[in-house]
Amino acid sequence: MAKPADKLASYNAKRDFDATAEPRGQIGAGAAQSFVVQKHDATRLHYDFRLEWEGVLLSWAVTKGPSRDPSEKRLAVRTEDHPLDYGGFEGTIPKGQYGGGTVMLWDRGTWMPQGDVTKGLNDGKLKFTLQGQHMQGGWTLVRMRGGEKRENWLLIKERDDYATDQPDGLTKGTARSITTGRTMSEIAKDAPAKKVADARPARKSKNPAFVKPQLATLVSDAPEGEGWMHETKFDGYRCLASLGTTGTRLFTRTGKDWTDKFGALGRAFDALPCDSALLDGEVMAAKIKGSAFSSLQRALKEGHPLVFYAFDLLSLDREDFRDTLQEDRRARLAKLLSGVPAGGALRLSEHVVSHGPEVFKRACEAGAEGIISKRIDAPYSGRRSKNWLKVKCTRRQEFVIIGYSPSDKKGRAFASLLLGSHEGGELRYKGRVGTGFSAEVMDDLSRAMTARKTPPASDVPPEVARDAKWVRADLVAEVDFTEFTDDGVIRHGSFLGLRHDKDAAQVTVEEPLEEPEMGDDSKVGGVQISNADRKVFPDAGCTKGDVARHYERVGPRMIELIGHRPLSLFRCPSGIDGQCFFQKHDSGGMPDALSRVSIEESDGDAADYLYATRPDSLIAAAQMGSLEYHIWGARVDRLDRPDRLVFDLDPDEGLDWPDVRAAAFELRDALAALGLQSGAIVTGGKGVHVWLSLRRTRGWDTVKLFSKTFAHVMAAQNPERYVATMSKAKRKGRIFIDWLRNERGATAIAPYSLRARPGAPVAVPVTWEELEKLDSANGFRMGDMAARLDQPCPAMAVQNDLQSLTDRVIEKLQTWSEG
């Protein structure tokens, strides 16, 4: 849509402001990036979706309203930009006026763009994260092709913790205004407003007090060994977030309260399920243009959106965790943030256990400042120690500004800044920096510096001091440089920005220290396994070395079944009692024995997925703490053609094993009645996978629709036994026939994979005759595998018996469903 010079010209031209109470269009100066949704009963009912951007509200009319179901693509017609004041409008537009009808404030909050907004609008694809009362998590607007008068877009929910399979679950039951509590009919009658509960969490505990943050010691090389976890070194402002009765308070590393300075960022913590908490993290600019640090300076000055990367949890609900181990704090933090939408303003920092040098190398190649390495068994000390180490890709240092050299060029405030650092109780000269300044930055620095007559440092060389102008030594500059000369001054320095979060009196030069000793290693199948004696399954006495040997043993058979399939790895680097997490992308630090394939995801972006091609791929993943392997239903050579269909029988807590086992046989027989032969895998948990191998003749949509229909028919015919929706409430006393594993990107546990559960159970393919005699789904252990490998594999028999979802099979299912 071509925009006039005045963004609100179209809005104003359509309205008679003597007749309507809508606000007159004026370009605003808001910077909080709000969004608002207004339920609008005009010619026909729709929802007006609006995003604050560059002083106006970008607007779309969503005809059926937004849906949390990612499979629902809701038509969103682009309309004229609206003024920011419209975000507070609720009332009735008179009949005969443009958009005449009742308007309700249905939702509002903040939004976070994922990528360049202008480019997204031009290209027809805008991704963002919402934090509202009704709409939350990741969303995408995609422009449809065509030459219509108006731009037709589609509003689509991303797959995350806020997604559901209920198409209208978002708009159903939300028929009152979020600000006045009125219904549409009450708004139309101009009824008085009702009391509306504060949308912010009603936290009952006091905000935890600020504590001194843990600081890292600079070293030359990244530590090796399984005892270390490694994170990207963020180039922003260190921040402690205190949550409690007064909301969220945000503190700098020196204890300054910057809640107001960080603006709307504090609302990002509202969704956390706690009464109080103290989180450690780093504030960054949401959009990086140039260096990360200069982007943050610009975002703070101009009001652009910020993000908070959380990397430690110091207290939760009045319980202090600073004396607990790093890995335990990390696990608690991950659990606390588990419901936070990916890509939002609040994010969990990524980390990799072990492989420090490789992680550091990849960080530098990606342009990062460096990495932070943390001992996984260390407490939080609140001081600088060797339990946290920092390794820098380039020389970066804070310096105190002690003066400047005047410039002889017109319009340039100075030629270079003179820098110093505190050493031995006095301020010492450390050189000059003359690059990295824009005209705007120079003007800001000139206003910030306070003149003084004498030099703050006594050792400034005469040739430098001769023309220097001295300033009060209270400003801290972040500078990138190549090295220190023999005289101790910087070479090839570049100014990055001022550090308002650091005290000039505390600025000293950091010199790398020696890194600590690392642990012993051993080899399994040619793969180096560090800390092989670490207990991974404490109750079973199984170690990391045992896990690696298990995958060495079953690896050849597993590769025949799961080779060349994209994987999701379930990693527990410290054992099942420590932090565990899924990893499907190569985020850096994963071994070269695992292969990579670039896959376009549902949002259109591509990511590198991992897959295995040989047994040592599985062992190498085990070295990285991988316990479970979950597989796609397609192989990397034809990702659009699934060759595996699986139903996961997931019982409610109250059901016994015989119920699940009987259900497996019932599904087998129902599939057989359609002409499909299937096999069974006991999952090592509570359930059974009934699965079959497919000829690659159908796409994902057909396979997904078939499995969904089959599951729903089974549930409809046996409602007292089965349910086909993921709702926990509806599952009570029933078995969930999980058909959702049959869509692109979904995974199922791999045969012969360990499960990260007490006892170290294994998911094992079985014959139907064996299944009839089994006492549980989790009865197989590592020690049982040698005997099973001496026998024919039931899964290989199923994999070689290719089935087809023919038209006749689909017709039979249709007839069955109609009967």
**Amino acid letter, 317:** D
CATH code: domain of residue 728: 3.90.920.10
d(Cα 457, Cα 501) in Å, to the nearest integer?
A: 23
Q: Are strands 764-766 and 688-693 parallel, antiparallel or unpaired?
A: unpaired
In a domain, 708, yes or no: yes
d(Cα 761, Cα 781) in Å, to the nearest integer?
A: 5
In a domain, 133, yes or no: yes
d(Cα 694, Cα 675) in Å, to the nearest integer?
A: 13
**Amino acid letter, 131:** Q
Pair 354, 460 in one domain: no
Pair 296, 361 in one domain: yes
Element (H, E) at 688: strand 688-693
User: According to the 3-state scheme, what is the secondary structure of 584-608?
Assistant: CECCCCCCCCCEEEEEECCCCCEEE
pLDDT reported for residue 518: 37
pLDDT reported for residue 6: 85
d(Cα 254, Cα 402) in Å, to the nearest integer?
A: 22
Pair 432, 312 in one domain: no
CATH code: domain of residue 486: 2.40.50.140
Pair 318, 446 in one domain: no
Pair 240, 281 in one domain: yes
d(Cα 716, Cα 710) in Å, to the nearest integer?
A: 10
Q: Which of 376, 392, 408 is the last residue of a domain?
A: 392
In a domain, 628, yes or no: no
pLDDT along the chain (819 residues), means of 10: 70 93 79 83 94 92 93 94 93 94 92 85 91 85 82 90 78 82 92 72 88 90 87 92 93 90 83 93 85 82 83 95 90 89 82 89 87 91 87 88 91 90 89 89 90 92 92 92 86 89 84 49 82 87 93 96 95 87 79 89 82 94 94 95 96 92 97 97 96 96 96 94 83 91 95 96 97 94 92 95 95 87
Q: How many domains does the chain have?
A: 4
By CB atoms closer than 10 A (0-12, 13-18, 19+), residue 427 is buried
Assigned token pair, 305 = 């959106």
In a domain, 606, yes or no: no
CB 611 within 8 A of CB 738: no
Residue numbers of the domain that contains 82: 9-188
Pair 674, 728 in one domain: yes
Q: What are phi and psi of 746, to 5 degrees?
A: -80, 155
**Which stretches within 563-697 are classed as H helix?**
615-623, 657-673
| Residue corresponding to tokens 């958009």 | 99
Pair 422, 381 in one domain: no
In a domain, 754, yes or no: no
pLDDT reported for residue 59: 97
Active-site position among 7, 127, 157, 233:
233
Pair 388, 402 in one domain: no
Q: Is 436 left (phi over 0), alpha (psi -120 to 50) or beta?
A: left
Pair 146, 13 in one domain: yes
pLDDT reported for residue 148: 66
Q: Which of 347, 369, 392 is the last residue of a domain?
A: 392
Measuring CA to CA, how many Å separate 447 from each of 413, 475, 476? 10, 12, 15
Pair 164, 228 in one domain: no
Strand partners for 244: 247
Measuring CA to CA, how many Å separate 348 from each of 207, 248, 605? 21, 17, 21
In a domain, 123, yes or no: yes
Q: What are phi and psi of 168, to 5 degrees?
A: -115, 20
d(Cα 386, Cα 302) in Å, to the nearest integer?
A: 38
Q: How crowded is residue 183: how many other Cβ atoms within 10 Å of its Cβ? A: 16
- Our answer to whether residue 728 is catalytic in this structure is no
Angle between helices 657-673 and 700-717 (to 10 degrees): 120
CB 678 within 8 A of CB 668: yes
d(Cα 58, Cα 661) in Å, to the nearest integer?
A: 55
Pair 383, 417 in one domain: no
Rounded (5°) CA angle 598-599-603: 135
| Chain mean position to CA 331 | 16
pLDDT reported for residue 2: 45
Q: By three-state DSSP, how is residue 435 classified?
A: coil
In a domain, 336, yes or no: yes
Assigned token pair, 83 = 């003024």
| Residue corresponding to tokens 């910020």 | 306
What's the distance, Cα to Cα, between the start and end of the chain in Å? 50
Q: Which of 506, 527, 545 is the last residue of a domain?
A: 506
CB 475 within 8 A of CB 463: no
Pair 347, 429 in one domain: no
Measuring CA to CA, how many Å separate 801 from each of 695, 724, 757? 9, 27, 32
CATH code: domain of residue 371: 3.30.470.30
In a domain, 362, yes or no: yes
Strands (E), 463-534: 469-470, 476-481, 483-484, 490-491, 494-498, 521-524, 527-530
